[in-house]
Every structure is written in structure tokens, then in C-alpha cells.
Chain A
Amino acid sequence: MVRTLNRLLGLALGLALAGAGGIAVAEVILAAVGHPFVLVPASRYLHALRTTQWSSRPATVASLVAAVLGLVLLAGEVWRRPPRRVPLTGLEGDGRRPDGPVSGEPDVAGADSQQRATSDASTEDIDWWLLRRSVETHLRRRLVASTPATRARVRLMAGRRRWRARVRVNAPAAARGDVERAARESLERLGARRDRLRVKVGKLRLRAVLRAG
């Protein structure tokens, strides 16, 4: 969402800069040959700026708006967002295979020895990733299907070293242990290391219920 917005804003900024630059060039050339401003009422703007003091109300308000807008934008960009993809480690040939034993080794059922022999001949690393949203959706589906939870909302923050899942469920308090266990099992199956996985289970609030559908 923010990524798309950034891209759209970038496109708008680019077109605005190009437009402003084009108008500036045209007006400067016209002014150089003695023509008055034609595309924008620049004379009026220049007159206004030449007769407006910094201490005047419009200048103060404009500065304040720019500063506040900048701060809001800065906060929005600096704020840590969940990554679009999370590393899928522990797979054969994965370039980011962590050191030491992986307690959450992905399910190996079905990989026959012949396929392993083929892959052993290859040397290049494959970077494997999981789309974070799909993991959240998968976990939500799984929790609703396999625990007493009737609704769930999952937020996953994952990096190369640590996975943190915040799960909110609409379930009796006594069932929270089951929910946590199921969430852990699912995430470990996807390669999260047991000792580096934190799952926090809470109650689904009304606003979250509406969002979870």
C-alpha cells in the first residue's frame, strides 16, 4: 500500500517537476525576448513575494505547513514497515542457510534420493523468499481451521535472524495455548528457528474483527 503510494507520488512529483521546469524555461525565453509572462501570472506572484515580509501571516503559515508536511512525510518514510518478503532459510542450496542446526527444518517428506543426487551436482545458491502476506493469510487460515479460534489476524515481522508473529484471535482464553502451538508449528515448518521465533497471542479487538472480516 505505502509502496504503491510512494510510486504514485514519485510519478506525480516527476511530472510536476518536468511541468514546472518546462514552464520556467518557456517563460524565461519569452521574458528574454521582451514578452510578458503568458503561461502563469508570474508578475503577480513576484510582486506578492517582493511585498511580503517573513514575519507576515501568509509566510509564517506557509513555512509551518511545509515543516509539518515534511515531518509527517519523514515519519512515514522512516517508520519501520513489515518487509514484503521474508527469507526462507534452511532449504537445500539456500545461500542464506543459517549456521548450526535448524530446529524448524522445512518438511522434507517427498524428496527422494534421486532428486537430491541431481541437486548435489549444482553449486549455485538460490535465494528463497516467502511473500509475507501469503504467510499471514496461510497462518490465519490454519488457525481458524485447526484451533477453536473463529477469527484470526496475524502480523508477521521477520528478518534474517528473528521472526516475530503477533496473533490476535477470537477464541476463549483457554484456547490461546493451542493457538500459540499451532502458530509455532506452522512457522517452524516454514523455516523459522524455534529459538529465534516469538509468537504473541492476544484477543482480537472489535476494530481488528472488522478488518479480519
Chain B
Amino acid sequence: MSDRANRVLWTLVALVLVIGGGGGLAFSFGALGPSAAHADVITSHLVRQWHRGGTISFAVASAIGLVLVVAGLSLAAAELARDTGRSRLEDFTVTGRSAAGTPPADGARGFTLVRASCLGRALETDLARIDGVQGALVRLFGKPGRLDLRARLDVADDASLSSLATLARACLDRLEATSGLRPRAVDMTVTLVASNRPRVG
């Protein structure tokens, strides 16, 4: 789950606690009248309602329990999910056919299976070859037609960032030339690291 979603979740939990606790204090100190302050936490009226409800009471309680189970498991799964729940690019095939399904004029046939992980690694290697880049991590999300790319680059703190931008773009051009994929959204995060390049004195 994203940081923003977690903040919203915990803000809601905090509001529930504040409202619940504040309401409890209002009851306790008689702000809602002396009869409310001397009422039991679970009133006999509530108990009567439960008994009167019979099967429906049990059904409602079971439904609330089930909702809690589903909500709790969904929340736990979302917290454990990688990549904030986004689906990574899966392996895909490239065929010689056109979009209309007709084979190309030169008669090329067959298909090529492209491993998504290989594409990611190839781009990592390409990015890591840029002068000043000391490490690269690439994640490809979505589907071939709607590809999102997220990369993290460890860049020497004495490297030229403008040059880096230009060369990274060239890497994306090469990715497109090789695979035919052009990411629609590219998100690059640079981590500045101490340069390990030898200095020439």
C-alpha cells in the first residue's frame, strides 16, 4: 500500500479513536445529561433488541464478523504487496502479423516470445553503462501497449545530470528499437552516491 494510502488509513483510525474516546468522555462527565453518565456501557435496551432480533441478530453479527475478516485480510495483503500493488509486465509474444491479422508482405511467419524480466535486465545493463551510473534497477509495469517504467539509478555525485538524462533517453530509444515497446510513463529516481571513479590528478 502506498504511503499516502497508509496515511489516510491511520488518519481515519485516529479520527475513530478521537470521536469514540471523546464521545465516551462526554458520556462519563455527564455532558449528555446525568442519565447518560449513569447508563451502562451495554444497556438493557440493547440486550433486549438482540434477543428480539433472534436469527437476524446472529446473521448481522456474523456478517459484521465476515466483513472484518475480509477487510483485515485485504489490508494485510495490501501491506505485504510489492510495488504498491501494481502488476508487473508479463512475458508477451510478438508476431509478424499486422494489427488486422494479415501476414506481412515479405511472408514472415511465426512469433517471438519476449521475457519481460530479460527486457528489464537488458535496460538495467544499458543504463548502468552510462558514465557515472553505478547501479540501476528497472521495473516494468502494465501491458505491452500501456507500459509504465520505473527505474532507480545510483549515480556518482560528480556525474553530469544533464548528460545522464540525455543518455537515459537514448537507452529508452534502444529499448524501443529492440522490443517495439515505448513506455507511456517513465519515472526515474536518482540516488546520489559517493563516486568510485578514479580521480586523475
Contact = CB atoms under 8 A, between A and B. Distances in A.
Contact of B189 (A46, A64, A129): A129
Contacts of A128: 165, 188, 190
Interface string A110-154: 110001101101101111111100110110011000000000000
Nearest to B168: A126
B11 to A, nearest CB: 5
A19 B71 CA distance: 11
Contact of B183 (A19, A121, A124): A124
A53 B29 CA distance: 11
B160 A77 contact: no
B61 to A, nearest CB: 5
A68 interface: yes
Interface in B9-60: 9-11, 13-25, 27-30, 36-42, 44, 47, 55, 58
B39 A54 contact: yes
A63 interface: yes
Contacts of B168: 126
A189 B188 CA distance: 18
A142 B173 CA distance: 34
Contact of A13 (B42, B70, B75, B188): B75
Interface stretch (B92-100, B112-120, B191-199): B191-199
Contacts of B9: 10, 13
A137 B192 CA distance: 8
Size class of the B contact interface (CB-based, 8 Å): 35 or more
A55 B30 contact: yes
B162 A130 contact: no
Given A11-B80, A18-B76, A141-B194, A63 B14 contact: no
Interface in B98-140: 131
Size class of the A contact interface (CB-based, 8 Å): 35 or more
A3 interface: yes
A7 B1 contact: yes
A70 B18 contact: yes
A125 B17 contact: no
Nearest to B186: A126
Contact of B169 (A54, A93, A190): A93
Given A14-B78, A111-B160, A125-B186, 8 more contacts: A10-B1, A14-B71, A21-B69, A49-B41, A51-B40, A108-B162, A111-B166, A121-B173
15 contacts: A14-B72, A14-B74, A19-B72, A54-B39, A63-B22, A67-B25, A71-B18, A73-B13, A78-B11, A84-B3, A91-B161, A110-B163, A118-B166, A124-B186, A130-B189
Interface of A: 3, 6-11, 13-25, 28-29, 31-32, 46, 49-55, 59-60, 62-71, 73-74, 76-78, 84-85, 88, 91-94, 105-111, 115-116, 118-119, 121-122, 124-131, 134-135, 137-138, 141-142, 189-191
